[in-house]
Structures are given as C-alpha cells and as structure tokens.
Amino acid sequence: MWDYSDKVKEHFFNPKNAGAVVDANATGEVGSISCGDALRLTLKVDDATEVILEAGFQTFGCGSAIASSSVLTEIIKGMTLDEALKVTNQDIADQLEGLPPEKMHCSVMGREALQAAIANYRGEEWKDDHEEGALICKCFAIDAVMIEEMVWANKLRTVQDVTNFTKAGGGCAACHEDIEAILEKVLAEKGEKFDPNAAPVETPVKIAAVKAPLTNLQRIKKIEQVLESLRPSLMADGGDVELVEVIGNTAYVNMTGACNGCQMAAMTIAGIQQRLMEVMGEFIKVVPATEMAKLVNIEAVS
C-alpha cells in the first residue's frame, strides 16, 4: 500500500471537522466520481469580517483525500477569505508531511474546493481550470494531459524534447515508452510520424557541449548558462533556481519559489546535475546552498 506519513494517517483515522457545517453560507463541491474522489466543503463565514468561523468537509475518497480535506479545514479556520485564497495545494501537502506523487491530486482537490466555496460565497461562478490525465512520470508527477498539451504547443518530437519542456522522463526514465506512445498519438493526429531519432526542437537556450578541462571561470559561466536554460521549465511550476557558489566541481544552488521545500526538489536537483554533466562533459555535483555553510566550515577547519 501507499507509504503515507504519520500525519496523513492521523488525519485519516481521526478526521477534524467531518460533516457539513449546519448553517453554512458557502459551499464548494469538486472532484469526480469516476475517479473516485469528491469533496464538499461547507464554510460559515462572518459577513462583516469575512473570517471563516467554521469549516466542515464531506469526502468520498481514499485515505489521502480524507486527510487532505481534514487538514484543509484546520488550516483555513480563522482565516479571512483573502488569506484562505492564498492557501496552495502545496501548503496542504506540507501540513500532511508530504503525499505520494500519485496522491498530490488530493491536495489539489482541497484547494479547488476552497476556491469553489469562496466563489460560491461571493456569488461568483467557479470554473475548474485544469484537466487531469493518467500519471505518466512518477518522479516529477507529470500527467498525460500536460505532456500532450506541451507536445502540441511546442511541436515536440522526441522524448528528450518532452523532458526538456516538462521534466517528464527526466528521472528514472521508466516512463519513456509511455511518452513515446503520447508522441506517436499526437504526431499521428498532426499527420506526422514519430521518429525516435528526430533532431530535438530548439530548446529555449541552446548550449553547445564543451570539451573538458575547463578553467574555473569557464566552468562558472557554463553552469550559469545551463541553469538559465532550465529556468523556464522550473518557472512554469512556480519555482526557480539561482547559482550561489562554485567550489571545485561542486555547484551550490538555491531552489526558490515553489521549488523551495517541494518534495520534488531533490529530484529536480538530480535533473539539473545530470544536465550539467551532459553539457560540460565532466562530473559536477549540485548541492543545495543550505548545505554550503557546513561544508565551508569544515574546509576552513581542516
């Protein structure tokens, strides 16, 4: 079964705020019964201050769906509606000490129910803006719909293209057959044929591979170039990366925005490292800058 955190189990076995709020004045209903997840969130909002006084949930769903609903109601109680709108699905997942990639959509459902409930209170109509497909890349939690859209929008042709644009397939590589199947399908719809050896499409910044050895200055410039080329795909997820220091073959980076504290940060760093090594033709170790102080100190002592 899933490797749920203790926090998920705690909220599943002893859910908080289960059931509908009796005199609720905001209701949000989201989910899909065909997928086996559906959530009704009811709120009692103070009309004068717009503070959420009470929150209750009713969930049809798995352990993590119930835990996400429960923790969501705990997070938003006492917030104003504007504060509550800033709650992200990552906040929900963080409060639960993480969710398996296949279950991140449970936290998304929580955030959407909240948006729907607030829209309901304000007399607006809420529209779901995302469509979810089958999960393809488990390392980076990228689904089929996302990959298809990127293939269409950017005229992608190879698995490497898909990895460059979406990160999908950049980790363990087990999903490459599935990505090829998507490419085959989309290219067929466009009247083209999938060719695994096709030349990759232009990536945002094209960097020619270099021959080692490099001087330290060349190395730093090259690392910056590579990071620059990777930033668009990180920024698409609301994250970013900056280079802090280079000591020998080790590059210290800061993961910022959504990347900061994201469970995928370690995978992302591994992806960056791999890309750097490909381009630079030498071993490069990428380490979060938070680790730097310790290491520098050790070096200073020794």
Partner 1 sequence: MTDIYLDNNATTKVDRAVVDAMIPYFLEQYGNPSSIHKFADGVARGIKQARQQVQNLIGCEHDSEIIFTSCGTESNSTAILSAIKAQPNKKEIITTTVEHPAILSLCEYLEKEGYTIHRLPVDKAGRLNLESYKKLLSDEVAIVSVMWANNETGTIFPVAEMAEMANAAGVMFHTDAVQAVGKIPMMLQDTKIDMLSLSGHKLHAPKGIGVLYLRRGTRYRPLLRGGHQERGRRAGTENSASIVGLGKACELALEFIEYENTKVKAMRDRLERGITEQIPHCFVTGDLYNRLPNTTDIAFEYIEGESILMLLNKAGIAASSGSACTSGSLEPSHVMRAMDIPYTAAHGTIRFSFSRYNTMSEVDEVLKVMPGIVATLRKLSPYWDSINNAPVTNPEQAFQPTYA
Catalytic (active-site) positions = 35, 106
Please report whether residue 58 would count as binding partner 1 according to CB under 8 A.
yes
- What is the SS3 assignment for 144? helix
Please report whether residue 230 would count as binding partner 1 according to CB under 8 A.
no
Q: Which stretch binds partner 1 (CB under 8 A): 38-46, 167-175, 220-228, 242-250?
A: 38-46
Contact 288, 254 (CB under 8 A): yes
- What is the SS3 assignment for 176? helix
Provide, rounded to whole angstroms, the least separation between the CB of residue 47 and partner 1: 25
Give the contacts of 145 (CB within 8 A, at least 6 positions apart).
131, 132, 133
Size of site (CB under 8 A) for partner 1: 42
Beta bridge partners of 253: 243, 288
Please report whether residue 98 would count as binding partner 1 according to CB under 8 A.
no
Please report whether residue 66 would count as binding partner 1 according to CB under 8 A.
yes
Please report whether residue 22 would count as binding partner 1 according to CB under 8 A.
no
DSSP label at 258? T
What token pair was written down for 23?
Answer: 């005199």
Q: Which stretch binds partner 1 (CB under 8 A): 130-138, 225-233, 246-254, 276-284?
A: 130-138
Around 199, how many Cα atoms within 13 Å sit in the side-chain half-sphere? 3
Q: Which of 16, 63, 192, 194 binds partner 1 (CB under 8 A)?
A: 63
Q: Which of 29, 50, 54, 74 binds partner 1 (CB under 8 A)?
A: 29
Please report whether residue 211 would count as binding partner 1 according to CB under 8 A.
no
Please report whether residue 128 would count as binding partner 1 according to CB under 8 A.
yes
Q: Which of 116, 227, 264, 267 binds partner 1 (CB under 8 A)?
A: 116
Please report whether residue 142 would count as binding partner 1 according to CB under 8 A.
no
DSSP label at 212? S
Q: Which of 35, 172, 205, 236 binds partner 1 (CB under 8 A)?
A: 35
What token pair was written down for 245?
Answer: 């220091």
Q: Which of 11, 12, 81, 151 binds partner 1 (CB under 8 A)?
A: 12
Measured distance CA(117)–CA(136) in Å, rounded: 31
Q: Which of 21, 52, 59, 121 binds partner 1 (CB under 8 A)?
A: 59
Please report whether residue 277 would count as binding partner 1 according to CB under 8 A.
no
Provide, rounded to whole angstroms, the least separation between the CB of residue 9 and partner 1: 8
Q: Is the dihedral of CA 93, 99, 104, 107 positive or negative?
A: negative
Provide, rounded to whole angstroms, the least separation between the CB of residue 64 and partner 1: 8
Query: Please, is 146 exposed, middle or buried when counting C-beta atoms within 10 Å of its C-beta (0-12, 13-18, 19+)?
Result: buried
Q: Which stretch binds partner 1 (CB under 8 A): 59-67, 72-80, 155-163, 244-252?
A: 59-67
Q: Which of 24, 31, 45, 230 binds partner 1 (CB under 8 A)?
A: 31
Contacts 24+ apart (CB under 8 A), 79-82: 79/51, 79/52, 80/49, 80/50, 80/51, 80/52, 81/45, 81/50, 81/52, 81/118, 81/121, 81/122, 82/50
Q: Which of 5, 10, 16, 18 binds partner 1 (CB under 8 A)?
A: 18
What token pair was written down for 179?
Answer: 């990505």
Contact positions toward partner 1, by CB under 8 A?
1, 9, 12-13, 15, 18-19, 29-40, 57-66, 102-103, 116, 126-135
